[in-house]
Amino acid sequence: MKFASILFLFILFFSTQVISGSKIVSPDKGFKADIIKELNDAEEKVTSLANEIPQAKYTWRPEEDVRSVSEVILHVAAANYFILSFVGVKMPDGMKMDSDFDKKFTDKGEILEFVKKAYAFTREKLMEIKDKDLENPIDFFGAKITTRHLLIKMAGHSHEHLGQLIAYARINGVVPPWSKKAN
């Protein structure tokens, strides 16, 4: 009995060393999982706020030459495709990022569907990046950064424009759903 207990503990110890030493990436832990959690938070808030903003306000802009509500929502989602292109991720078929991409449609339903697809694509492609490649150097508009840094910038970009959208919503009398007081 004593030998069996020692053997069991040895096998248990050895198996945990093998498993913990592996490079299996799980969406619930690690750097990429943290980035995905930040992107999920931004997506949920952008989407819930976009749902609260009336369709009639989607073309509202604080002043000429500044993005409208719909343009901000499209920009924040489309930027994920663009940012991932710096690490060699190809945009989906039919996706073209031209200079007036964010002005091409203003329909709330189409925009919300675009946001959903953009973030799903982003999550999928993030999980395909190998951990060893997170340290690869990237030239990002003249700045020499790592893939890891680029992904941090991507999450930050989503939250930056979420803040812009919050300001737009509040100016138009829309309270973010997560800020409403519970009754």
pTM, two decimals, is 0.80
Element (H, E) at 170: helix 147-171
CB 54 within 8 A of CB 69: no
Other Cβ atoms less than 10 A from the Cβ of 35: the count is 20
Phi, psi of 88 (to 5 degrees): 90, 5
pLDDT at position 104: 77
Where in the chain are the domains?
A: 26-176
Kindly indicate whether the domain formed by 26-176 is annotated with CATH number 3.40.50.2300.
no
% of the chain with per-residue pLDDT over 90: 72
Q: Across residues 58-82, what is the average pLDDT? A: 94
| Predicted confidence (pLDDT) per residue in 15-62, tens digit | 433 333 333 334 568 999 999 999 999 999 999 999 999 999 999 999
